[in-house]
Amino acid sequence: MTNRVVLRIRTFTAVVVLTGWLTTASGLSIGEREALGQDFAQCAAYFFNAAKAKPMSDYETLYGAAEVAFNRAKRMLGSEEAERLMADASSEISAIMGGDWLNFARVEVRFSGHCTELINREVEKR
């Protein structure tokens, strides 16, 4: 074999091994990782909005949860995709409320349980 062929085989092998490591290092497939990243982006939007809607005594906790969720989404999906998904989720939240913050309870019914559980699992990992 020529050096060129050997180099191509080694490069291909390295890419396959690295790709396999990336998908299994987190224990998630690429599709599962994307879905989880989408959940984190959506929950970031929920917590950022909740920080505005809830009493000031909850602000730090909610804003902190939003930051954790958004940073995790960025690590999983990249900044641009995480920002896009969070903006989409914020639009959905606004639509659920009908643009009226007095209707934020509707948003809580939809997002609170899932997002709180997601962030609690993330915090427990640390």
Rounded-to-integer distance, Cα 106 and Cα 95, Å: 10
Burial group, residue 2, by CB count within 10 angstroms (0-12, 13-18, 19+): exposed
Do the beta carbons of residue 106 and residue 96 sit within 8 Å? yes
Do the beta carbons of residue 115 and residue 46 sit within 8 Å? yes
Give how far the C-alpha of residue 4 lies from the chain's centroid of Cα atoms, to the nearest Å.
41
Q: What percent of the chain has pLDDT over 90?
A: 70
Model confidence, pTM: 0.76
Q: What percent of the chain has pLDDT over 70?
A: 79
User: In terms of DSSP H, where are the helices of the chain?
Assistant: 3-25, 30-53, 59-77, 79-97, 104-125
Do the beta carbons of residue 44 and residue 93 sit within 8 Å? no
The model's confidence at residue 62, banded by pLDDT at 50, 70 and 90, is very high
Q: What distance, in Å, lies between the first and last C-alpha atoms of the chain?
A: 49
